[in-house]
Amino acid sequence: MVDKIMSTIFLGLVLIFGGFHVLFMLLLSYHWDYVRVIGVLVIVLYVAVVLGIFGFYSTVRRKQSVAIIGFIVVLFSIIPAAARFYDSQITTVNAEVNVWEYEPFVENSLVKQLKEGATVTIDEPLPILDGATAMYPLYAAFVQATYPRSLNYLQEEIVMVNKTPQAYENVINGKADMIFVAAPSQQQIDVAKSKNVELEMTAIGKEAFVFFVHKNNPINSLTLEQIRGIYSGDITNWSQVGGTNESIRAFQRPQDSGSQTALQYVMGDIPIMEAPTEDIVSGMGGIIHEVAQYKNYKNAIGYTFRYYSTEMVGNDEIKLLMIDDVAPTKENIRNETYPITSQFYAVTTDTDNPNVRKLLNWILSPQGQQLVEEVGYVPVLENNK
């Protein structure tokens, strides 16, 4: 009996010290669900061996019982890991683009260029620009057309691309002279007022706010009321809007982002339901609590702006929905028959830089508006289309 106890203790110590090291290394590389499977498997094997040491397997029935129980325990530990593995295979609709591909004055850049020289040249002091990611190809084209040639504007932060919330923060705090964004959220307006800053909104183009689903979703069109029902939480199953009997996964974007503000405008006074969330490792190595990144589940719905989805991302695994049976095409944006058509802006504040107004006037000129068209947006001045 003493030998059996000593064998059991020795086996336990080996598993504790050796297994702890293995599990720790796995935990550094894999999610806890996967590590848990290994841990459960080791424990089941340990119990099975110990039972053998103490002579428990005296009958076939006992062997079968232990095998069945062990199998069930391991199976239940595998289910979360299997679900996570399946989830990891779902295509993620990329929320970012490589801004370096649109850098001005760089060979083979994707930035659009005028066929003739610009009618205006911007000299020192150069206006400091910032804006939403989807706007960067546009104001990069403005820079290429009017600024002196330089390969260092991004590095020197003369031209920045910090997304909508940071861009508004920069223009409010005087770190940017002009930003290119969608309309501000109420919170951004309140922050500007609290700092006695007046946001001057100059419409320079028109864009469509679009909703998208998996390409295999049978739904091709929703009404505005159905959109509001989905994002208020009143409509929870695709069968309620003519689709399959599947629950709706309605993803959202972070607060104060351009697309989340656009959703708030669509919803009006209707409260938006709580968004699905997940912990995401930030670029600086910390942990932030953020709205879940859209993953292309077959029952999911997300939203963005037309240009971003079609010109920059171009994901053929999703499809843009019609709203009230009207497709978000450039022509329907131009004639404003698409129900969620809105303007986007060059936002400025009171500044001593004389070239800010000079650049803004050029953007609204026939040549500037033609460049808006060339980039892929709809110009705000119809006579320049």
Give this prediction's pTM: 0.68
Task: Read off the DSSP letter of residue 312.
Answer: I
- pLDDT > 50? residue 286: no
Kindly indicate the confidence band of residue 313, based on its pLDDT and cuts at 50, 70 and 90.
very low
* Span 56-111, pLDDT tens digits: 777 888 888 888 888 888 887 777 767 666 555 555 555 455 778 889 999 899 99
Contacts of 206 (CB under 8 A, 6+ apart): 333, 334, 336, 341, 342, 343, 344, 377, 378, 379, 380
105: alpha, beta or left, given left = phi > 0 and alpha = psi -120 to 50?
left
State whether 125 and 51 are in the same domain.
no
In the block, residue with structure tokens 């079968």: 64
Task: Read off the DSSP letter of residue 115.
Answer: S
| pLDDT at residue 49 in the model | 78
- pLDDT > 90? residue 226: yes
Per-state percent for the chain, helix, strand, coil, to nearest 5:
45, 15, 40
State whether 144 and 18 are in the same domain.
no
CATH code assigned at 288:
3.40.190.10
State whether 97 and 40 are in the same domain.
no
Over residues 239-252, mean pLDDT? 91
Mean pLDDT of the chain: 81
Q: Which of 88, 111, 140 is the last residue of a domain?
A: 88
Give the separation between CA 98 and CA 384, rounded to whole angstroms: 30
State whether 232 and 351 are in the same domain.
yes
3-state secondary structure (DSSP) of residue 288: strand
Q: Is the distance from CB of 342 to CB of 262 less than 8 angstroms?
A: yes
State whether 81 and 220 are in the same domain.
no
Give the separation between CA 4 and CA 53, rounded to whole angstroms: 6
- pLDDT > 80? residue 42: no
Over residues 201-223, mean pLDDT? 92
Residue 325, domain extent: 93-385
In the block, residue with structure tokens 């005028």: 114
Give the separation between CA 248 and CA 227, rounded to whole angstroms: 12
